[in-house]
């Protein structure tokens, strides 16, 4: 047989076998895809022909102690275009640029961009969204959305915080309790043809959004209003940088109000609340916004000055180095090592008891007490009163204590610490510590959130906060209430008096660093009723112009606040002869 013929037959055979093998492989692969991968490719095909649009969930409301809504939602719209469905691009560009007040160039770039969906503008007022719908423009989608709305504008702005364009919390309680407030977004699925055009006769698939839960607070709108009015009045009168006021229940840590004036408009949080001279860069503008949003009550530290004498007095009583009847001599200064440290009364107070020394806010008396206690025990007492840790308040960004290390504290440092200098704390840390001093010795956790409810008002969570009991003795607590009541009755805190009520308190005037710059922080902390406190409040005035003494400018602020809110809280006037006569008239 011809060798070439045999060779050709062999090649043909190999070719046929190869073809048959390929056919078998293809059939096998096709069978595998059709039988075992059918669900996967069916899903891919569905995705190719489905267009997904998000339905934003309504954010949960925030309610005050009385159930008043202080953060809610407004219905707004998101306007977008689908490139493949736009039949008259010029009309779409004209209508959207006019109705949305955008430049034609901006709208054109988005309309002509080849994409499955292009957002033109979000947070569009519902009335404008409805108007755009009436044009019935092919390829233009108007979906209802939600925008956070604050009915009281700037009220408690640095506490509540606000949300961004995606409706997520950015600062304050809005971000702290995001997991409860945010809800679950839904979606709309529409079917399209191969060109990406929606098929009219196919019904949309909808997964409805689930609204967020509501947050209940201890903050009281009425108390916050009273406090803000008082803060803005002194802010203007004293041309201060800022004024902070916090009022709290000293027994359980529930915060009734937290003011940081000037506040900002929660419905317009990206506009500065003051005028800036000259042009600023984007980074500089963002820095200014961050400064405006700062909550001075918890984000900033300061030297507390004489209000901290409450802590020194408590430490002295606890350690047994002083009694109310202990006597001291004040010549107007103390020599500590190589330092001559002055009293605010240059000629001195002369001989005085410990109670009188506290009423006079006498620096030498408290230097003596601090030095008797000693650095190690002094630090231990500060730690017991929570001053070496953050308060645990349910707000982000809380600052901590700035203080010397114990091994670096000499006699001079201890002497100055005893009257509130050479270290820094936050106003809320001091308020918490003094609360423990006057409530019988329990260290509470300051907080706003009380509970969470669903959209029907059913309570689904009640918040609980740590309490450390017995950080000081009840005997020391009773003694301190008496002493601080005398400070307001007859001492440096007279301007903190409220007619008909027994008040306890302490004033402070602390010079800012560097010393000698003529800038001061005036403050006052007061509580009522003096012997069974139901409310404690602190006022901080940063750099008041003119008279700057805490007893003169800060104490009257809390006095004014208490005159308004003590009756509101149902706190009865003291049972005194003066009050009995007043009621009979």
pLDDT in tens, 484-533: 999 999 999 999 999 999 999 999 999 998 888 889 999 999 999 999 99
**Partners of 190 in the β-ladder:** 51
Q: Is 523 annotated in the active site?
A: no
What is the Cα–Cα distance from 311 to 410, expressed in whole angstroms? 19
Let me know: does 71 contact 161? Beta carbons within 8 Å. Answer: no
The terminus-to-terminus CA distance of the chain in angstroms comes to 143
Let me know: does 74 contact 266? Beta carbons within 8 Å. Answer: no
Q: Given the structure tokens 């936050």, which residue do they identify?
A: 426
Let me know: does 210 contact 184? Beta carbons within 8 Å. Answer: yes
For 387, how many CA atoms within 13 A lie in the half-sphere containing its CB? 33
**Partners of 52 in the β-ladder:** 189
What is the Cα–Cα distance from 483 to 486, expressed in whole angstroms? 5
The residues spanned by each domain of the chain are 51-105+113-217, 256-263+285-584
What is the Cα–Cα distance from 287 to 424, expressed in whole angstroms? 24
Backbone angles phi, psi at 447, to 5 degrees: -160, 160
Q: Which residues, including other chains, have CB under 8 Å from residue 175's CB and lie 6 or more apart?
A: 161, 168, 169, 396
Q: Which two tokens stand for residue 21?
A: 């093998």
What is the Cα–Cα distance from 268 to 149, expressed in whole angstroms? 10
Q: Given the structure tokens 């601090």, which residue do they identify?
A: 370
What is the Cα–Cα distance from 79 to 252, expressed in whole angstroms? 48
Which ranges of 439-554 would DSSP assign to H, the alpha helix? 474-490, 550-553
Which CATH architecture describes the domain 51-105+113-217?
A: Alpha-Beta Complex (3.90)
For residue 209, the model assigns a pLDDT of: 85
For residue 354, give the nearest of 342, 333, 368, 336 by alpha carbon.
Answer: 368
Let me know: does 178 contact 168? Beta carbons within 8 Å. Answer: yes
For residue 208, the model assigns a pLDDT of: 82
What is the Cα–Cα distance from 244 to 237, expressed in whole angstroms? 15
For residue 204, the model assigns a pLDDT of: 59
Backbone angles phi, psi at 54, to 5 degrees: -85, 140
Q: Which of 97, 306, 326, 361 is catalytic?
A: 306
For residue 562, give the nearest of 531, 530, 537, 532 by alpha carbon.
Answer: 537
For residue 535, give the nearest of 568, 508, 507 by alpha carbon.
Answer: 568
Residue count (the chain): 585
Let me know: does 545 contact 570? Beta carbons within 8 Å. Answer: no
Burial 539-560 (b: 16+ CB within 10 A, else e): bbbbbbeeebbbbbbbbbbbbb
Backbone angles phi, psi at 286, to 5 degrees: -65, -40
For residue 48, the model assigns a pLDDT of: 43
Q: Given the structure tokens 């001075």, which residue do they identify?
A: 296
| Strands of 520-528's sheet in order across | 255-261, 242-248, 535-542, 520-528, 504-511
Coil, strand, or helix at residue 422?
coil
Which residues does the chain have with pLDDT short of 50?
A: 44-49, 201-202, 577-585
pTM for the structure as a whole: 0.87
Let me know: does 129 contact 79? Beta carbons within 8 Å. Answer: yes
Q: Which two tokens stand for residue 107?
A: 């709208």
What is the Cα–Cα distance from 57 to 73, expressed in whole angstroms? 10
Query: In CATH terms, is domain 256-263+285-584 a member of 3.30.465.10?
Result: no
């Amino acid at each position: 047989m011809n060798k070439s013929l045999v060779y050709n037959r062999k090649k043909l055979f190999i070719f046929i076998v190869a073809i048959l093998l390929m056919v078998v492989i293809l059939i096998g692969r096709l069978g595998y895809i059709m039988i075992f991968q059918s669900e996967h490719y069916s899903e891919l095909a569905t995705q190719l022909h489905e267009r997904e649009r998000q339905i934003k969930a309504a954010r949960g409301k925030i309610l005050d102690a009385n159930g008043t809504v202080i953060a809610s939602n407004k219905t707004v719209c998101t306007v977008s275009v689908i490139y493949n469905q736009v039949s008259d691009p010029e009309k779409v560009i004209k209508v959207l640029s006019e109705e949305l007040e955008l430049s034609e160039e901006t709208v054109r770039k988005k309309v002509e961009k080849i994409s499955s969906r292009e957002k033109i503008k979000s947070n569009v007022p519902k009335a404008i969204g409805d108007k755009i719908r009436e044009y019935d423009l092919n390829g233009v989608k108007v979906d209802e959305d939600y925008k956070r709305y604050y009915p009281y504008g700037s009220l408690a702005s640095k506490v509540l915080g606000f949300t961004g364009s995606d409706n997520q919390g950015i600062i304050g309680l809005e971000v702290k309790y995001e997991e409860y407030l945010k809800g679950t977004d839904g979606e709309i699925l529409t079917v399209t043809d191969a060109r990406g055009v929606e098929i009219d006769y196919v019904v949309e698939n909808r997964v409805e959004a689930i609204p967020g839960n509501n947050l209940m607070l201890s903050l009281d709108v009425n108390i916050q209003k009273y406090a803000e009015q008082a803060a803005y009045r002194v802010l203007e009168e004293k041309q201060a940088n800022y004024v902070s006021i916090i009022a709290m229940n000293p027994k359980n840590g529930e915060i009734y109000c937290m003011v940081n004036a000037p506040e900002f408009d929660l419905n317009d949080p990206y506009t500065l609340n003051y005028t800036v001279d000259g042009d600023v860069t984007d980074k500089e503008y963002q820095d200014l916004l961050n400064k405006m949003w700062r909550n001075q009550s918890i984000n900033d530290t300061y030297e507390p000055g004489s209000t901290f004498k409450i802590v020194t007095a408590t430490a002295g009583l606890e350690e047994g180095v002083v009694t109310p009847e202990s006597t001291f001599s004040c010549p107007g200064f103390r020599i500590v090592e190589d330092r001559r440290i002055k009293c605010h009364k240059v000629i001195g107070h002369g001989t005085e008891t410990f109670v009188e020394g506290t009423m006079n806010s006498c620096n030498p008396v408290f230097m003596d007490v601090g030095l008797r206690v000693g650095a190690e025990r002094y630090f231990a007492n500060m730690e017991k009163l929570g001053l070496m840790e953050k308060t645990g308040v349910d707000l982000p960004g809380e600052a901590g204590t700035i203080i010397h290390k114990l091994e670096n504290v000499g006699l001079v440092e201890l002497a100055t610490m005893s009257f509130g200098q050479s270290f820094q704390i936050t106003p809320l840390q001091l308020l918490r510590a003094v609360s423990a001093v006057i409530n019988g010795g329990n260290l509470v956790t300051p907080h706003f959130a009380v509970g969470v409810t669903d959209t029907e008002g059913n309570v689904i969570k009640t918040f609980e906060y740590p309490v450390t009991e017995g950080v000081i003795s009840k005997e020391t607590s009773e003694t301190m209430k008496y002493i601080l009541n005398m400070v307001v009755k007859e001492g440096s805190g007279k301007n903190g008096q409220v007619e008909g009520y027994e008040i306890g308190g302490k004033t402070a005037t602390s010079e800012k660093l560097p010393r000698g710059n003529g800038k001061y922080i005036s403050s006052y902390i007061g509580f009522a009723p003096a012997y069974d406190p139901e409310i404690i409040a602190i006022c901080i005035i940063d750099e008041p112009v003119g008279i700057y003494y805490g007893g003169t400018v800060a104490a009257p602020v809390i006095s004014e606040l208490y005159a308004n809110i003590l009756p509101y809280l149902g706190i009865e006037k003291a049972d005194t002869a003066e009050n009995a006569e007043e009621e009979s008239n």
